[in-house]
Structure 1
Amino acid sequence: MNTTPRATAVALGIRLEVVTVVWMTVEAGVAIVAGLMARSVLLAAFGVDSVIELLSGVVLLWRLSAESRGAGMERVQRLEVSTARISAVLLVLLCVFVVVTSLVGLVAGFKPADSVLGLAVAGVAVVAMPLLAIAKSRANRAIGSASLRADIAETITCAYMAGVTLVGVGLSMAVDLWWLQYICALALLIWLVPETREAIEAARGEDREEAFVSSSEPVRILHVVTAFPRYSGDTIVPWLVELLKRLRTAGYEVEVLTSAYRGGGGQSHDGIPVHRFRYFFARWEDLTHDEAAADRMGRSVLYRVLPLFYVAGGLWASRRMARSGRFDIIHVHWPVPHVLFGWLARRASHKKARLVTSWYGAELRLVQSSMPWLRGFVRWALRTSDAVVAISSYTAREIGRFGQVPVRVIPYSLGFAAAQATGHIRDESFRILFVGRLVERKGLKHLIEAVRRLPPELKARLTVIGEGPEREALAAQIRSSGLDSSVDIRGRVPESALRDAYAESDVLVLPSIVDARGDTEGLGVVLLEAMSYGVPVVASAIGGITDIVENEESGLLVPPADADQLANALKRLALDPALAARLGAAGEQRVRTAFGWPEILQKWEECYGALLNGRADIAPLEAGASMGRGATP
């Protein structure tokens, strides 16, 4: 009897596939019967897709059984081709069925009946499928089967389809929103259309694995992000765009997986391939890009439901990308929830891709304050990552509250090229600049109050660049404080205007606070931008800001939410040009030595190289550690 680790894993895989086949048989039968009895398109579609998953499970079970007997694979491969053809036909018919019956049902006002049976089978699948996927993943660590990895992805997909079915049928029964079943049925097309395309490709023989890629070929990296510039001049994540451009120059092949924006958003940016996944109807496909998704979710019930579709659409896209892209590294930014995409991409990839997660702090603080039930998910995300990266020592210490894992601290840098002399002529006023989103955690209301307290002879003028939900409240504060002629809110501006604003300013202020959700500044890229112009900075001694600004050396730090201390710091700079010049020069030097792109790029190359060479990552950052005076982050 063969008792090698692989043989044991194959035996476990067979048992798990038996469970899969048995469950899919039950699930398909119950869902289809329940759908017919209730006249529910949603349940019927869920059941038919379960039949297709059943066929896939049968093929994989046959394949694993053949290996356990030592038999040849030709017969299994022939069966696999036939199954792919049958699945392709069924999927095409299923898509047509969903579209036609859903539209007819909506137009005619045909109300499906309640179905406790359908609700029950979807509820069981939501719980059972993730557990089954975890067990299959453990078995596949020894087997290393691409087919089993694909089957794991199918199992996860089944869980999300069951989730959508559960939401549609459950809400329809609970609050009599009968039309929601048709909407959810149409939403299944987010999964069904890519699945149909993949089945057609497999039936045509287009899904064959690619030849072995030589180690001399460039390292391929897939960056998974929430949002990415939609058009030339879009100012979303400029520092990330700059990083990817510099990685390409260094010889890496980089691509981006991100969400669509109202049905589109651009397929390339500055030569970087961008793959955008669809997750809802175009009119409402704006969970991201315009503002933080967490802020968006507070606006309506629809935006609170959209994350379910967002995650499902991203999972499908990441799986397809991994199966076709042969990436060496999957680099996930903002891992809640995107680590799911990275995890599935790593599982589905033909190569043994490595998973890097970059933590910016906002996701950790959101979980701590508003979503404590996701703490376990964050711990799992940290454990499943091959490398964990924080943008500041403050964020690294926040990670330590969830679990002790090795953490690299790699900040971002400027989102544009180094500053150039502009030759602007300064007037007699004291020009104060704020750049950032107009949200609570930026603390702008405290800066406005500080400006009100400055002596009139300083002729202080505050320019505010940025947009956000706090704009109207801030404008009202300006009017009530009698500062209409002293404060100018410009909104969003082009990069050239932003550069001019930096060059013309006497000081940049970042008065960040801890907001009602517990969020604060993860690092503060606007500080780096201003310092690159030799502009002195004043900021709150909070969050990752202290990684950038050394008090009295490269800037001034003040307590958060303290208008008096903020006004005193501004007054010092206005009345002491020598101090302002010294801090400005020291800040410019700090940006070059500690936050320059050559240093940041070197740190990323070291991180990627360690993963590809199989070296252990660095030791965890101590809970009380900081970057310290003059240290490089």
Structure 2
Amino acid sequence: MSQTRKIAVVLKGYPRLSETFIAQELLGLERAGHDLVLVALRRPTDAKRHPVHDEIRAKVFYLPEYLHDEPWRVFRSLMKSLPKAGFWRALLPFIRDLRRDRTRNRFRRFGQALVLFDEWPAEARWLHAHFIHTPASVTAYASIMAGVPWTCSAHAKDIWTSSDWELSEKLARARWTVTCTRSGFEHLKSLTDEKSRVHLSYHGLDLHRFPSFDGHHSDRDGSDASDPVRILSIGRAVAKKGYDILLKALSLLPADLHWRFEHIGAGDLTKELRTLAEHLGLAPRVTWRGALDQKDVLARYRASDIFALACRVAVDGDRDGLPNVLVEASSQRLACVSTRVSGIPELLNDDENGLVVPPEDPRVLAAALERLIRDPALRRRLGAAAERRVRAEFDHHSSVRQLSGLFESEWRKSP
């Protein structure tokens, strides 16, 4: 690389167990020669962290999560920014946004941008937002204040829960935007005249952390009560993951089938899901592991027979893009069953390298689960095909090269 600039990457929170795809991208960019500093809107809440977080060298700079938590820091930044032209340049766009979004959150993002502008970290000369909703709002205001260009990575919830007017304006303000599913890519392109500035870039997987599984998944077929089929799911206990649908599907499985279900992840709906499992009579067959780090997750993939994820579009429009856990499970030859939502069919083709069913339908999901439970040969065929596709098409080095190339093209265009 002939030229580089320090990039301030604005994140909603860091580090986060549920966002390994971001962490591996940050590490990949560092290894490609990019100089990063991380700006987080909130501090970590997870008790554990993945090994990849310890390999990232970039310093982390935390903004006040809520303005009232650090009022003097915010007030000091305001007073220091008032005499500067950048503050007044950003004020008009903020007021225009506020007229269409009269919320405390709008003030909060502008206040966070003020602190970022005032306490500008480590001589950053470029801003990059991960998520096009709140992190991009802070980034866009700070970009105007500092006169520094910005770019954006959009994902799933941030696209589908943002209003079209706000997405359109952010797409116009950013130098370019990348997103990780074709459905998100097509939606964003429909909201801008500058379609060439929207790019599709699958996250992929760090295959060194998920090497080929040398062992064998079992021949369990659900007939042996002492050796039940092991069904795994990994994801936050939130509405879009559809765990209520998955539990209902499990409750519909024939009584003669022997299985156990294991969930890994934390989330606001954990208590409700535990109650539902008890109500459905599933509690003795369900294990709730909570959050685990990447090494433990890899071991659970290898010890399981089926991976299930019942993704849906939530009432507020929130949905997954392409869940990284499906890519991880596929890399370990674990047969997957999931739903026809967002980017999932971009990885899994029904009956070719997984089973794909409609969302919100416990009976159809139960039939797919029963089929996989009873047929270990089918599991082996689907799992082998899924691994081949992941290792051929979802290596994260491709996405890092693409992102790195986009940054380098900007360095070449401007002094």
TM-score by length of 2: 0.80
CA distance in 1, matches of 2:199, 2:119: 27
Q: Matches of 1:321 and 1:592 in 2, distance apart?
A: 43
**Structure 1 residues 361 and 236: CA distance shift in structure 2, 3 A:** closer
The offset of 1:473, in angstroms, is 2.0
For residues 593-618 of structure 1, what are the alpha-carbon distances to aligned partners after superposition, in whole Å with 9 as ceiling and x for unaligned? 21102212222123223333339xxx
What amino acid is the match of 1:259?
L
Q: Specify the alignment match of 1:70 in structure 2.
A: none
> Are 1:226 and 2:5 matched, yes or no?
no
User: What secondary structure, in the 3-state scheme, does the structure 1 residue paired with 2:133 have?
Assistant: helix
Contact 1:331–1:355 (8 Å) recurs in 2:
yes
C-alpha separation in 1, matches of 2:339 and 2:405 = 32
Q: How far does residue 274 in structure 1 lie from its aligned partner after superposition?
A: 0.9
Separation in 1 of the partners of 2:351 and 2:320?
20
Residue of structure 1 in register with 2:115 after alignment: 317
The amino acid across from 1:330 in the alignment is L
Q: Deviations over 1:320-376 (max 9, x none)?
A: 46586142x3211112233343334444557xx5421111131232234xxxxxx32
Aligned partner letter, 1:582: R
1:414 aligns with 2:200: no
- 2:285 — aligned with what? 486
Amino acid in structure 2 at the alignment position of 1:274? V
Letter in 2 for 1:225: L
Structure 2 counterpart of 1:325, one-letter code: E
Provide the residue aligned with 2:88 in structure 1: none
* Of 385, 392, 396, the match for 2:181: 392
Question: Which residue among 32, 52, 57 is the counterpart of 1:250?
Answer: 32
Instruction: Say yes or no: does 1:464 pair with 2:263.
Output: yes
Aligned partner of residue 247 in structure 2, secondary structure: helix
Q: Do 1:431 and 1:507's aligned partners in 2 also have CA atoms closer than 8 Å?
A: yes
User: For residues 115 and 353 of structure 2, what CA distance do their matches in structure 1 show?
Assistant: 44
Cα distance in 2, alignment partners of residues 447 and 345 from structure 1:
43
Q: Distance in 2 between matches of 1:314 and 1:545?
A: 35
Q: Is the 2:12–2:134 Cα contact (8 Å) retained in structure 1?
A: no
Q: Structure 1 residues 283, 474: closer, same or farther in 2, change over 3 A?
A: farther
- Residue 304 (structure 2) aligns with: 505
1:383 aligned to 160, 164, 172, which one?
172
- Aligned residue type for 1:342: T
Distance 2:405 2:296 in 1: 36
Matched-pair contact (CA < 8 Å) for 1:220–1:326: yes
Q: C-alpha separation between the residues in 2 aligned to 1:423 and 1:306?
A: 53
Could you list the per-position Cα deviations for residues 234-291 of structure 1 after superposition, in whole angstroms to 9, with x for gaps in the alignment?
A: 525222111111211111111111124399x99x95322111112435599xxxxxxx
Aligned residues: percent identity?
25
Structure 1 position 330 matched with structure 2 position 127: yes
Measure how far apart 1:525 and its partner are. Answer: 0.8
Counterpart AA for 1:564: R
2:20 corresponds to: 238
Amino acid at match of 2:160: R
Is residue 217–residue 304 contact of structure 2 (8 Å, CA) maintained in 1? Answer: no
Counterpart AA for 1:223: V
| Structure 2 partner of 1:292 | none
User: Within 1, Cα distance between the matches of 2:6 and 2:332?
Assistant: 35
Larger radius of gyration: 1
User: How many matched pairs?
Assistant: 367
**Equivalent residue letter for 1:312:** F
> Please, which of 394, 401, 408 is the counterpart of residue 602 of structure 1?
401
Where does 1:434-453 land on structure 2 (aligned, <5 Å)?
434-453=233-252
> Where do 5+ consecutive residues of structure 2 fail to align?
72-101, 221-226
Change (3 A) 1:493 1:340: closer
Residue 280 (1) aligns with residue 67 (2): yes
CA gap of 1:348–1:280, structure 2 versus 1, over 3 A, is closer
Q: Given residue 317 of structure 1, which amino acid in structure 2 is its aligned partner? A: V
User: Within the alignment, does 1:360 sit opposite 2:142 as a pair?
Assistant: no
Rounded Cα–Cα distance in structure 2 between residues aligned with 1:417 and 1:271: 18
Pairs within 5 Å for 1:39-78: none
Contact 1:573 1:579 in 2 (8 A): yes
Counterparts of 1:308 and 1:542, CA distance in 2: 30
**2:366 aligned residue:** 567
* Amino acid across the alignment from 2:9: H
Give a deviation string over 1:215-241, Cα, whole Å, max 9, x none: 945342221111111xxxx52522211
TM-score, normalised relative to structure 1 = 0.54
SS, match of residue 461 in structure 1: strand
Aligned to 1:586: 385
CA distance in 2 between counterparts of 1:476 and 1:331 reads 41
Cα distance change, pair 321–253 in 1 and its aligned pair in 2 (3 A): farther
Which of 88, 102, 105 is the aligned partner of 1:307?
Answer: 105
Structure 1 gap ranges (5+):
1-214, 285-303, 369-374, 616-633
- Aligned equivalents of 1:281, 1:236: Cα separation in 2: 27
Per-residue deviation, 1:420: 5.4
- What is the CA deviation profile of residues 19-69 of structure 1, one whole-angstrom value per residue up to 9, with x for unaligned ones? xxxxxxxxxxxxxxxxxxxxxxxxxxxxxxxxxxxxxxxxxxxxxxxxxxx
Q: Is the 8 A contact 1:354 1:612 kept in 2?
A: no
Residues 128 and 139, structure 2, Cα contact 8 Å, conserved in 1: yes
Instruction: Tell me if structure 2 keeps the 8 A contact 1:358–1:389.
Output: yes
Instruction: Describe the SS at the equivalent of 2:40.
Output: strand
Which of 329, 343, 352 aligns to 1:530? It is 329
Alignment deviations for residues 424-456 of structure 1 (CA, whole Å, 9 cap, x no partner): 995731111111111111111111111112223
Cα separation, partners in 2 of 1:271 and 1:258, compared to 1, 3 Å:
same
Q: Is the 8 A contact 2:110 2:141 kept in 1?
A: no
In 2, are the aligned partners of 1:323 and 1:349 still within 8 Å (CA)? Answer: no
Taking the aligned partners of 1:531 and 1:366, their CA distance within structure 2 comes to: 28
- Structure number with higher relative contact order (C-alpha < 8 Å, ≥ 6 residues apart): 2
Question: What is the aligned partner in structure 2 of residue 259 from structure 1?
Answer: 41
**1:343 aligned onto 2:140:** yes
> Does the alignment pair 1:556 with 2:343?
no
Amino acid at match of 1:280: L
| Contact 1:451 1:460 survives alignment (8 Å) | no
Q: Distance in 2 between matches of 1:533 and 1:356?
A: 34
**Contact 1:435/1:526 (8 A) holds in 2:** yes
Check the 8 A contact 1:429/1:460 in 2, yes or no.
yes
